[in-house]
Structure 1
């Protein structure tokens, strides 16, 4: 075990998931270092001149990236960072974030990317919980670190990347890197040593630290990416998921660098920024969330004519369910399939999806278990496996699994007989495809009926006047809950009683009538997390508060 990691913070063996390694690519040697595999290996094998990172007008080759990682790794060592130490990395999607995470991992430390919108109180909890020793931060984001600093118990050094002339009294990123040696041998980490910590958004309580090893990071690329995307070194991955989001870390760091391909980084990308990056950087694999794909379609209806998007070959979607409507509209406009996928911070990346070369991608289903993973549907009360066609809790096992840092009570809830339980309700169809129903928390129980909110959302979204929708359960004295839809309208449409009737009738005519939204509220926007997920918890709480006030 890495010397500075307290053993009591890791899951007890009895509560840890069982890992299975059914694909040959995930059998790694005992000693492996993810930074060496993602960067140094390509230089050793003659790909040093290949572009690793596109950022604005800059092209960073693998040889350039190796030198930057080496210098940063040596700079961190010079400040006393040791194997096992946790280092917070707080940036938008910029090269310095990738360099720093890889440098931390190369010296045997644990990178802890931080969402840029977190405030001092949230940072205080996460940094102290992880017992982080250092923070590397973009100067535009240093203010919340400064506010939190008096309460941070273990942080010894703050390093600031000066890009916007923000005053500070910490170490200078550039000065440390320039003064450091450009040669660095990778620390001899073992495959099960920790390399990455990602904290959940904490929408239902305190954030939980999900821990991932060198082997698990590589396994996400050698299962999902290798089999479902089939990348080559000619690919360019791009998109707007934040790097501290497990989905973004895989899409924009692990996957491209595993295969000697390129990543296109765009800081705070708008839909127009993404289209420009596709044209300028030749993006082939576009990674985003359903909301962003819909924004591209709605804000740039002539996008394929305004920009050169001919490089695109496939899209990836995660974070929220991808509706058939979005799938079909994007395919029609851009000529590529969007692969829906289910993954979690805890499992690190996608474990259920279609493959890019499937003859018939069914947009009404998430897909099949990714090669290397097994999935089954279990009864939430008994844990017994259900027949195909019955809805229940998804249970998964493979080369990654759910392991929390210092949260034994949550760990016990997350694993059932060695299978990880992400908390999603699915149906396994007769053909083996898995159909998403809802998060366990998003199931609406009305008059005894179980109604998955996302199923209703997908139908409401089909109406031409609807831009975005969130469906939650609203308290009701007689029915327990009723289905309520919060609807953001497309430009040029106005809310009215007639439109409510149209939406309700459309749902009644498409789904079982008891699933229709008995209440429809038109709103300007939906509350979202930094990763773009709808905060349905906030909407549910809002409805409960309204009901309580009315009583």
Structure 2
């Protein structure tokens, strides 16, 4: 192993489950460097003048991106970063984040993109757990990082990208790039060397580090993107998922750069700035989460007419189940299908989805992505279940679950080469996989298994409901009852009459035992930075109530 990675931090001194390379595109050579594949290859093949990144009114070509990556890679080497070292990359969605990750990868080290909203306590855990050696940070995000660095003894240097004028005495990202050589030969990384480290969003507990090899990163593009999206160099990938979100890293770094396409970055995404980016950057592949699609529809009901959205050809969604009514309304107004997908930080990207050429059934997630196998098993026995029965999802393919320094969690998540991402699904007779819930979101009431997201989607059909989260609330008689937390749409009143109407709507749509016996109106649902609802916080609230 060439990298400076403590074997004790990896399961069985290996890299998790053995990858299954069912596609010729994912059968990589034994030595490959992801930065060379995503940037250098395009320059060598004559595409250096093509647009790599669009940010605001600025454009970076592939040749310019290569030079920045090479200069910063040399600067990091001069700071003492060696192959296998972990480097924190803490930015909003800006070009410096892309350059930093690629530079770290090119010299054989491991970037750890960090969510911009993390506070010092959360950062302290990540710095210490990952043993971060160097941190690269946007100046407006420096304060929390400095507090975290003071609490650990592993971070040797902080590099700051100046933008808003925060005073500091750390090395400058811009100066390091200006002063460094642009001649950089990529480290001779093995395909199985670690090339990316991401931390889970913490929706089900303390964030866990998940690690991915250089071949893992490429496989997400050469499987899901290549077959489900069929991208070309003419595509522009844009949207609002944060780059430290595995979904966002694939959508806004790996996929466009793998196919010589263009990245559109929006630093402070809102419905308005996203629609502006579609118009100004010519976005063709729009990547987002259900919440953002709903916000666009709610805040800009005529957005499809107010902005030039003619460039769009397909939408992507992940993070939460996409409601069929959202799919239908986007399709009607914007003329595109949304490919809903299930993926995890641990598996790196989407492994179940429709292809853009499929006859899409919005009530199902889709089929196993080419290169992956998926099955539904009995959580007690591990036996595969016949189609039509709900159970635990098991997946295997070119990527798998590998935790950093979590051997107990690793043994729970992988068995006989199959990864268990923690989702409850049904495989229909037509082969499509239909999402039921996260294992933690399955409500057991009077012996009935009730998937919370199923109830949520029915409630979302009502015009009075802006957002909803359904959980199991403790109940002496039934064990748990279905409880819905609801944000009411503007113009509607939250009252007992609405409670009755919503309960009756569920009773008339689903089996009556699934209706929410309690409904609580709330101003705002707790969410992670990636847009996922933090149902654990709602469940915790019930425990102390």
Q: Specify the alignment match of 1:549 in structure 2.
A: none
Q: Specify the alignment match of 1:64 in structure 2.
A: 64
TM-score with structure 1 setting the length: 0.98
Q: Specify the alignment match of 1:95 in structure 2.
A: 95
Instruction: For residue 385 of structure 1, report the CA deviation from its aligned partner.
Output: 0.6
The equivalences for 1:186-265 within 5 A come to 186-265=186-265
Q: Specify the alignment match of 1:33 in structure 2.
A: 33
Q: Specify the alignment match of 2:420 in structure 1.
A: 421
Q: C-alpha separation between the residues in 1 aligned to 2:523 and 2:404?
A: 38
> In the TM superposition, what whole-angstrom CA distance separates every residue of 1:301-359 from its partner, at most 9, and x where no partner exists?
0101110000000000000001111111111111100000000000000000000011x
Q: Specify the alignment match of 1:493 in structure 2.
A: 492
> In the TM superposition, what whole-angstrom CA distance separates every residue of 1:85-132 from its partner, at most 9, and x where no partner exists?
110000000000000000000000000000111111111111111111
Q: Specify the alignment match of 1:472 in structure 2.
A: 471
Q: Specify the alignment match of 2:377 in structure 1.
A: 378
Conserved? CA contact 1:341–1:350, under 8 Å? yes
The equivalences for 1:149-188 within 5 A come to 149-188=149-188
Conserved? CA contact 1:383–1:416, under 8 Å? no
Conserved? CA contact 1:204–1:537, under 8 Å? yes
Instruction: Kindly tell me the number of residue pairs found equivalent between the two proteins.
Output: 545
Instruction: For residue 499 of structure 1, report the CA deviation from its aligned partner.
Output: 1.1
Q: C-alpha separation between the residues in 2 aligned to 1:271 and 1:279?
A: 13
SS in 1 for 2:132: coil
Q: Specify the alignment match of 2:516 in structure 1.
A: 517
The equivalences for 1:252-401 within 5 A come to 252-358=252-358, 360-401=359-400
* Structure 1 stretches lacking a partner, 5+ long: 547-551
SS in 1 for 2:304: helix
SS in 1 for 2:11: coil
The equivalences for 1:86-125 within 5 A come to 86-125=86-125
Q: Specify the alignment match of 1:411 in structure 2.
A: 410
Q: C-alpha separation between the residues in 1 aligned to 2:17 and 2:419?
A: 6
Q: C-alpha separation between the residues in 1 aligned to 2:257 and 2:152?
A: 34
Q: Specify the alignment match of 1:45 in structure 2.
A: 45
Q: C-alpha separation between the residues in 1 aligned to 2:204 and 2:367?
A: 29
Instruction: For residue 17 of structure 1, report the CA deviation from its aligned partner.
Output: 1.8
SS in 2 for 1:386: coil
Q: C-alpha separation between the residues in 1 aligned to 2:147 and 2:376?
A: 46
Conserved? CA contact 2:70–2:103, under 8 Å? yes
Instruction: For residue 203 of structure 1, report the CA deviation from its aligned partner.
Output: 3.3
Q: C-alpha separation between the residues in 2 aligned to 1:189 and 1:15?
A: 15
Q: C-alpha separation between the residues in 1 aligned to 2:539 and 2:123?
A: 26
Conserved? CA contact 1:285–1:315, under 8 Å? yes
Q: C-alpha separation between the residues in 2 aligned to 1:410 and 1:435?
A: 26
Q: C-alpha separation between the residues in 2 aligned to 1:502 and 1:298?
A: 22
Conserved? CA contact 2:11–2:407, under 8 Å? yes
SS in 2 for 1:133: strand
Q: C-alpha separation between the residues in 1 aligned to 2:3 and 2:299?
A: 51
Instruction: For residue 149 of structure 1, report the CA deviation from its aligned partner.
Output: 1.8
Instruction: For residue 12 of structure 1, report the CA deviation from its aligned partner.
Output: 1.1
Q: Specify the alignment match of 2:526 in structure 1.
A: 527
Q: C-alpha separation between the residues in 2 aligned to 1:385 and 1:13?
A: 30
Q: C-alpha separation between the residues in 1 aligned to 2:490 and 2:206?
A: 38
140-149 vs 13-22, which moves further: 13-22
Q: C-alpha separation between the residues in 1 aligned to 2:105 and 2:241?
A: 21
Q: C-alpha separation between the residues in 2 aligned to 1:537 and 1:141?
A: 27
Instruction: For residue 16 of structure 1, report the CA deviation from its aligned partner.
Output: 2.9
Q: C-alpha separation between the residues in 2 aligned to 1:3 and 1:347?
A: 21
Q: C-alpha separation between the residues in 2 aligned to 1:128 and 1:283?
A: 39
TM-score with structure 2 setting the length: 0.99
Instruction: For residue 15 of structure 1, report the CA deviation from its aligned partner.
Output: 9.2
Conserved? CA contact 2:482–2:515, under 8 Å? yes
Instruction: For residue 13 of structure 1, report the CA deviation from its aligned partner.
Output: 6.4
SS in 2 for 1:149: helix
* Structure 2 stretches lacking a partner, 5+ long: none
Q: C-alpha separation between the residues in 2 aligned to 1:428 and 1:513?
A: 23
Call closer, same or farther: CA 1:409–1:27 in 2, change over 3 Å.
same
SS in 2 for 1:331: helix
Conserved? CA contact 1:15–1:412, under 8 Å? no
Q: C-alpha separation between the residues in 2 aligned to 1:205 and 1:122?
A: 12
Conserved? CA contact 2:526–2:533, under 8 Å? yes
Q: C-alpha separation between the residues in 2 aligned to 1:14 and 1:5?
A: 11
